[in-house]
Structure 1
Amino acid sequence: MAITIQSQEASATINEHGAELVSFIDKKTGQEYMWSADSKYWGRHAPVLFPIVGRLKDDTYFVDGQEYHMSQHGFARDMDFEIVNSKENYVVLELHSSKETKKMYPYDFILRLIFELNGESLRVSYEVENPSEEEIWFGIGGHPAFKVPMNSDKFYDDYTVKLTPKANRNIIPLKGSYADINHLKEERTSELAVSHDLFKDDAIILDLGEEPTTVELTDNNSDHGVVLAVSDAKYLGVWSCYPKEGQFVCLEPWWGLADTTDSDLDFKHKFASNQLAPHEIFKANYEISIF
């Protein structure tokens, strides 16, 4: 099942399975901005990453000495959410902890995704509620994949990712699937020229320092594109598949990170994790604007 929300300028469709944004269309032009999820390359559109971002070492972790197993990016993207509220331009979807989730993740939680469309801008909000009497730990993030090229007269290499403000940012290299935080590269990163070779070493991971950041993906003439804005994300992943040449680029705001190369597998020690007190609610969001 899917639900479509609309403004006068645009429409967005969200699947209940995974609470995944699958379509974002400019009504004036009919332009689709989301990747088609062709499984030959990568069969997703915009999965939610919860309760981890990236991969755990050996897909394994421990909480209070108890061993658990969870695959890359967690389980929320593969579970059915429930629509709990909706209007013409607004929908709220929820996922609750269950016997099934407790096999992979020992904590009680309520995860909400809120999609609100205003004009040509879509706000995607996350709420993680802790309904229990104990602290919980988690990571969360977005993984929206945008169609590149967006126009039939453009090519993949005609696109650029531009970050504002221009600033010195740490780039976090990956060693295998794990974050090598001991070998950070500080660069004044304001533009990334899109090419398939850009992703030969996996995602480009930028430390945003929880600072407001705007990320624009557009062709060299700025004819069409998307702008992703975040106020407090810890990291940004820029990714596409390689060596397969999928026609998409992901702009991924993260409040979490893959296990570090020196992780001790204790979930309460996990680098860049979020800790939430009993009965508290964690909130984060990002906004996608199309042009």
Structure 2
Amino acid sequence: MNTTISNSTLKASIKHAGAELFSLTDNQNKEYIWEGNPDFWGKHSPILFPIVGTLRNNTYTINEKEYHLPRHGFARDMEFELVEKTENSAVFSLESNSETLKKYPFDFELQLIYTIENTSLNIEYVVINKSETKMPFSIGAHPAIALPEKFENYAFKFEKEESLKFNLLENDLISNKTQTLKTVESVVPLNYKLFENDALVFKTLESNSLTILENSKPYVKVDFEDFPSLGIWTKDKAPFICIEPWFGYSDTANNPGDLFKKEGILILEADQTFHSQFSIKIL
């Protein structure tokens, strides 16, 4: 099942499977979300929960008991319930169940709230800890922005002038090796060589937003003020770019395995609620 929301300028369509955004069009019917061609990457904008990235050996421990989670967790592969809908907004919910408890021993509710305002789609994450104990988790976004022209016609413009140091991935884990993106007035021209070692992982950034430029003109802006970390990724010769606001990232190679001690992890107290939001603005 799918749900569509709209206003006079934008229309967004969301799958109930994974509560995944799969289409964002303007009033000229121009599409801004990657189509999901499996020859490159068969997704559009998955939710990353309760981990972001990869665990060492896909394994972690809680109270010395071992559990297994796949890359980016399980929420993106589960059916969400549509719990509220208006013309320009929709609320989706996923609650813990017997299957999730085998992989992640906490009672939770995860909500995704999509709202269209003017030329922006706001995506809010709500995590409710329904357990009687503290709950460790990460959460992140993975929207793939469609790039209809030649890849090299695009560039990033970061909100602020800063040193854009990112960590390299090795076997899907965060390494200690870093590189720094070269910029001219905060602009980074796109080319596929940037991603020959997989995603660019920025543990911290001063910028709260990033604008994609098409032929030097503003195309799409992603605002991620609530999120401390950012991933940027594509596949070779793929006509999309993923701008990924994150809380958390892959394990380091020397991670001890205890989820409570994982670098970048969030800890939510019992009966408490976490909120974060990012937006995709069509320019």
Interval containing the TM-score (normalised by the shorter chain): over 0.9
| Separation in 1, partners of 2:161, 2:67 | 41
Match of 1:164 among 159, 167, 173: 159
Amino acid paired to 2:199: A
> Does residue 193 in structure 1 map to residue 189 in structure 2?
yes
For the 8 Å contact 2:155–2:216, the answer to whether it is kept is no
Could you list the runs of 5+ residues in structure 1 that have no partner in the other structure?
Answer: none
Match of 2:230 among 223, 231, 236: 236
Partner of 1:73: 72
After TM superposition, the structure 1 = structure 2 runs for residues 68-107 of structure 1, keeping only pairs within 5 Å, are: 68-107=67-106
| Separation in 2, partners of 1:191, 1:175 | 27
Match of 1:274 among 262, 266, 270: 266
| Separation in 2, partners of 1:171, 1:212 | 14
Partner of 2:25: 25
For the 8 Å contact 2:13–2:21, the answer to whether it is kept is yes
For the 8 Å contact 2:52–2:140, the answer to whether it is kept is yes
SS of match in other structure, 1:32: coil
- For residue 143 of structure 1, report the CA deviation from its aligned partner: 0.1
For the 8 Å contact 2:158–2:207, the answer to whether it is kept is no
| Separation in 2, partners of 1:199, 1:168 | 18
After TM superposition, the structure 1 = structure 2 runs for residues 198-277 of structure 1, keeping only pairs within 5 Å, are: 198-209=194-205, 211=206, 213-222=208-217, 225-242=219-236, 245-277=237-269
- For residue 38 of structure 1, report the CA deviation from its aligned partner: 0.2
Partner of 2:280: 288
Task: Tell me how large the CA RMSD over aligned residues is.
Answer: 1.4
Match of 1:177 among 169, 172, 176: 172
Q: Which aligned segments of 4 or more residues in structure 1 are displaced greater than 3 angstroms?
A: 182-189
- For residue 161 of structure 1, report the CA deviation from its aligned partner: 1.4
Name the CA shift for 1:35/1:52 in 2 (closer, same or farther; >3 Å).
Answer: same
SS of match in other structure, 2:193: helix
Aligned residues: 281
| Separation in 1, partners of 2:81, 2:48 | 17
Identity of aligned residues (%): 36
For the 8 Å contact 1:160–1:192, the answer to whether it is kept is yes
| Separation in 1, partners of 2:182, 2:267 | 31
Partner of 1:5: 5
| TM-score when normalising by structure 2 | 0.95
> Does residue 45 in structure 1 map to residue 47 in structure 2?
no
SS of match in other structure, 1:201: coil
